Amino acid sequence: MVLTLEQQVGALFMLHAPVEALSLTTLELVRDRYVGGVFFAGRSLAGVGAIARLVASYRLAARTPGSLFFATDQEGGYVQVLRGAGFSDLPSAVSQARCGGSLLANATIWGRELYHAGINVNLAPVADLVDTIPAADNAPIGYFDRHYGQTPASVIAGAGAFAAGMQTAGVIPTLKHFPGLGRVAANTDKATNVVDNYTSVNDVSIKVFTDLISYLSPQQPAPWVMMSTAIYPNLDPINPAAFSPAAIGILRDAGFNGVVITDDLSKAKQVSRYSLSERAVKAISAGVDIMLFSATAKDVPAAMAAVLAKAKTDPTFAARVAESAHRVTRAQAALSLA
């Protein structure tokens, strides 16, 4: 199926939807602007059935060629959006890492719970290596026990088992937050000028991600990678990783041909100096496939319009949009056939 430019642009956006009730704003954008993904945000105790009904409402409105993406954050511990009847209470990543060989089986159960609720993308597991500062001093990851230990081997074992369990259940896992948020003190959601002065091109933090990709890539559904919005001066002294061709290029050079998604671009303080339109254009230009607006869908139509306008006047940018749209719709089609 040949997509119009408007359809290509819409496919590259994943928008916030409250988990408690239907969002008419997001529903209209799914229907009228071909938005490719919905992210359920907040906290719910309503159980599998209630989430499945929400999913069905958006799915009926969708005008994508393949399956609409329905995503959430179901890591465990402090970060678990969906609870209630049919959903397990997931332990933190630190606790999961102690499960040893049972983690794969547990994660498969957790993935099936998501699958039955209609969720086909889990923005987990965390693959960040916390190894240069005490875990408690690492605000986004270590402080909340979101890490699978503090060695490359423990992160690969834990995140790998969690991701493989999701895949077995038919849910896309997302390795985050490349090139890693385990070496920063501040949280990109709540602070500006979050910088990692340690990580370099051949760093072990990056190797954790590439090793996980190699381990998971033969399986379906194929994993995604989420880009951090921190700045890594040894990779790119100016741009946050989600806006950095150099940072994304490391993934592609390592052979990763799957979907690359940003961390939140809607309310994250780290990207607040850019307008929403600038965030969208910069991310696509750098090589991102899906832009995540997980905190709000407000003003996203303006960002979509800016991407569309640039694609109409800039052939290089239009080719970038087409490349990502192809990658995204290929992933949607794979879900449709599963």
What mean pLDDT value characterizes the chain?
Answer: 96
Q: Binning pLDDT at 50, 70 and 90, where does residue 63 land?
A: confident
| C-alpha to C-alpha distance for 132 and 198, rounded to whole angstroms | 8
The predicted model gives 57-75 an average pLDDT of 90
Q: Binning pLDDT at 50, 70 and 90, where does residue 336 land?
A: low
Q: Which domains does the chain have, with CATH numbers?
A: 5-337 (3.20.20.300)
* Res 119 pLDDT > 60: yes
The predicted model gives 233-244 an average pLDDT of 98
Task: State residue 65's pLDDT score.
Answer: 67
* Res 206 pLDDT > 70: yes
pLDDT tens track for 93-105 = 999 999 988 999 9
| C-alpha to C-alpha distance for 113 and 169, rounded to whole angstroms | 9
* Res 268 pLDDT > 90: yes
* Res 338 pLDDT > 80: no
The predicted model gives 52-80 an average pLDDT of 93
Output the six-digit token pair for 294. Answer: 């997980």
Report which of residues 89 and 64 the model is more confident about.
Answer: 89
* Res 198 pLDDT > 80: yes
Task: State residue 337's pLDDT score.
Answer: 59
The predicted model gives 130-139 an average pLDDT of 96
Q: What percent of the chain has pLDDT over 90?
A: 93
Cis peptide before 221 (omega within 30 of 0): yes
The predicted model gives 217-225 an average pLDDT of 91
A 10 A CB-CB count for 18 gives: 15
A 10 A CB-CB count for 198 gives: 17
CB of 280 within 8 A of CB of 306? Answer: yes
Q: What is the 3-state secondary structure (H, E, C) of 194-242?
A: CECCCCCCCCHHHHHHHHHHHHHCCCCCCCEEEECCCEECCCEEEEEHH
pLDDT tens track for 140-156 = 999 999 999 999 999 99
Q: What are the φ/ψ torsions at residue 83 (nearest 5 degrees)?
A: -140, 180
What is the pTM for the complete model shown? 0.97
Output the six-digit token pair for 179. Answer: 């090139």
Task: State residue 6's pLDDT score.
Answer: 96
Task: State residue 99's pLDDT score.
Answer: 93
Task: State residue 220's pLDDT score.
Answer: 85
